[in-house]
Amino acid sequence: MYERHFGFKTKPFALTPDPEFLYESPQHAMAMTMLEYGLESAAAFSLLTGDIGSGKTTLVRRLLRQLGDQVTVGLVSNTHGHFKSIHGWALSALGISPANDSEIAKYEALVESFVREYAKGRRTLLIFDEAQNLSIEVLEELRLLSNVNSEKDLILQVLLVGQPELRAKLSLPELVQFAQRISVDYHLRPLAGPDTHAYIQHRLEVAGGCKDLFLPEAIECLYAHTNGVPRLLNQLADFALVYAFADQRTSIDAELIAQVLRDRTTTYSLRTFSAVEPAASPLDKKPGRRGKKAGAA
């Protein structure tokens, strides 16, 4: 809609986890380093956590792009509390069909696939996104599955990706043996103020636009109302571009961000912004302009 007006090749603030747009803040760069280290150092279990919208899935997608042909990957991204067994989901992620639907057949097919890949010089990496949804029983089953590894041969590696509740779950007494097997872990936090500026400019440049489209005070306003959460930054910045396009602006200032917030925080789609406790801003008290912007969305 607004891409041609601003000279973008694509939308800079889409909500899809596109690794091309990954901004390597110091903590995102460290998280990537830890994930790479986990794979290279023969870690049986690695753990990546972070709040909703912190960029976990984008990091995983970047990691997958970097993997060579020495790793066979199975990604389970639709985890939920109704998982009865890990075996069927792992088989599906790896594209393997068991001999029949019994748990024994599924387990045997899974182990045979690990051994078969190892014989070809490849390890198997199972990635479980939204892993906080996995029950204690399923996590214990996953730990037992990792027993296919021996002291000399690592044929299976597991990466758990989830929200902070996953860390709390892994701290339960019932999962102490599981927690002891996690060799590498990292927790992503929201972006700091300076990183928020760099994040916005990075995405604008990757999209083919001017990195100074958002004025510094506009980015400060974005940060104040999102606390540096990347997904919320994307949502608010995207609406700001729609408003700016409707007004035929060539730059975005703090007044426009405040206008977007006044117009949108009462709607369901952006109610998350009212859940964030923003830093006080005098702009919040300024009357906003109406007209083309108010009807743009």
Both 134 and 74 in one domain: the answer is yes
Whole-number pLDDT of residue 270: 46
Both 77 and 177 in one domain: the answer is yes
Both 46 and 175 in one domain: the answer is yes
Whole-number pLDDT of residue 285: 39
Would 290 be classed as within a structural domain? no
Both 152 and 199 in one domain: the answer is no
Q: State pLDDT tens for residues 59-105.
A: 999 999 998 888 999 999 877 766 678 898 999 999 999 989 899 99
Both 204 and 175 in one domain: the answer is no
Q: Which DSSP helix (H) or strand (E) runs through 59?
A: helix 56-66
Both 183 and 230 in one domain: the answer is no
Q: Output the furthest CA–CA distance in the chain (Å, rounded).
A: 69
Question: Looking at 134, 156, 188, which one is the last position of a domain?
Answer: 188
Contact 135, 82 (CB under 8 A): no
Q: State pLDDT tens for residues 228-239.
A: 999 999 999 999
Both 174 and 62 in one domain: the answer is yes
Binned at pLDDT 50, 70 and 90, residue 120 comes out as very high
Cβ-Cβ contacts under 8 Å for 268 (sequence gap 6 or more): none
Structure tokens given for 34? 């830890």
Whole-number pLDDT of residue 152: 80
> Residue range 242-247: average pLDDT?
95
Both 179 and 221 in one domain: the answer is no
Report the CATH number at residue 200.
1.10.8
Both 65 and 134 in one domain: the answer is yes
Both 165 and 238 in one domain: the answer is no
Structure tokens given for 202? 């990075």
Both 169 and 256 in one domain: the answer is no
Distance (Å, whole) CA 184 – CA 199 = 26
Contact 228, 190 (CB under 8 A): yes
Report the CATH number at residue 103.
3.40.50.300
Both 200 and 279 in one domain: the answer is yes
Would 172 be classed as within a structural domain? yes
β-sheet bridge partners, residue 157: 125
Contact 128, 159 (CB under 8 A): yes
Residue found under tokens 């899935």 = 57
Would 5 be classed as within a structural domain? no
Across 13-22, 162-171, 258-267, least confident range: 258-267
Question: Looking at 134, 157, 188, which one is the last position of a domain?
Answer: 188
Would 20 be classed as within a structural domain? no
Nearest one of 124, 130, 122 to 76, comparing CA atoms: 130
Contact 275, 238 (CB under 8 A): no
Cβ-Cβ contacts under 8 Å for 211 (sequence gap 6 or more): 201, 202, 204, 205
Would 175 be classed as within a structural domain? yes
Whole-number pLDDT of residue 80: 72
Side-chain-facing half-sphere of 183: CA atoms under 13 Å: 15
Q: In terms of residue numbers, what domain contains 213?
A: 193-285
Number of domains the chain is built from? 2
Structure tokens given for 204? 């604008």
Question: Looking at 158, 188, 218, which one is the last position of a domain?
Answer: 188
Contact 260, 222 (CB under 8 A): no
